[in-house]
Structure 1
């Protein structure tokens, strides 16, 4: 396994890319916002994108890395319902689309564990 600092920087890159994508191509994210959330899906897309960008910045800075990695783990767990909604909504799509939607579900756990590993970074 990579050193936690390198792992944290790689996770920061992933979170930054995801956050930017929320602003550059928001429609797919809007569609997976759970209906139970108040307000517009676009607002939630923007808020989650901004949160991902902030978490990425925190992961990149050694002084905030540990707290940001823990917050990233919590964030990744919090957005899991959106992945469940996507899998449910895409259940009648093509096999390839269903594979993407269903594949996101078990991917969340390794991402949370990755954030936990990044929280152990010393430098």
Structure 2
């Protein structure tokens, strides 16, 4: 497995596992407009990240996994927007984290695209 695919898979697996090990921070950024419990969405997104990590890790499913990763990175953007809005009056450090997450989706999507193209 090349370094891009290995790194992407590891990052997705780590984040997916964190959704189950420490769900509260993820619950807090689930957009209120989504139906049901925030915890359900936290677990669903964590499971999706773990599934995509496994797909990226396996050579036969790597391209599909990379495409799914790009879609996942785009799909979680509303949660990052919610976090930025919720933290707009927080400390400068928290605001920096929240606002810094917004443009990070672009390099993540480009990373998935590189894995798709390899």
- The TM-score with structure 2 as length reference comes to 0.98
Q: How big is the alpha-carbon RMSD for the aligned residues of Structure 1 and Structure 2?
A: 0.9
Is structure 2 residue 6 aligned with structure 1 residue 9?
yes
Give CA-to-partner distance per residue, 1:10-69, whole Å, 9 cap, x none. 000000000000001100000000011000000000000000000001110000000000
1:34 equivalent in alignment to 2:47: no
Say if 2:65 is the partner of 1:68.
yes
- Residues of 1 paired with 2:89 and 2:40: CA distance? 27
Task: Quote the residue 2:82 is aligned against.
Answer: 85
1:58 alignment partner in structure 2: 55
Cα distance in 1 for residues equivalent to 2:2 and 2:66: 11
Instruction: Extract unaligned runs of 5+ from structure 1.
Output: none
Instruction: Write the deviation string for residues 50-106 of structure 1: whole angstroms up to 9, x where unpaired.
Output: 000000011100000000000100110011000000000001110000000000000
* Ranges in structure 2 where 5+ consecutive residues have no aligned partner: none
List, as ranges, runs of 4+ consecutive aligned residues in structure 1 with deviation greater than 6 Å: none
2:43 aligns with 46
Aligned length: 118
2:22 maps to 25
Give the C-alpha shift of residue 5 in structure 1. Answer: 2.6
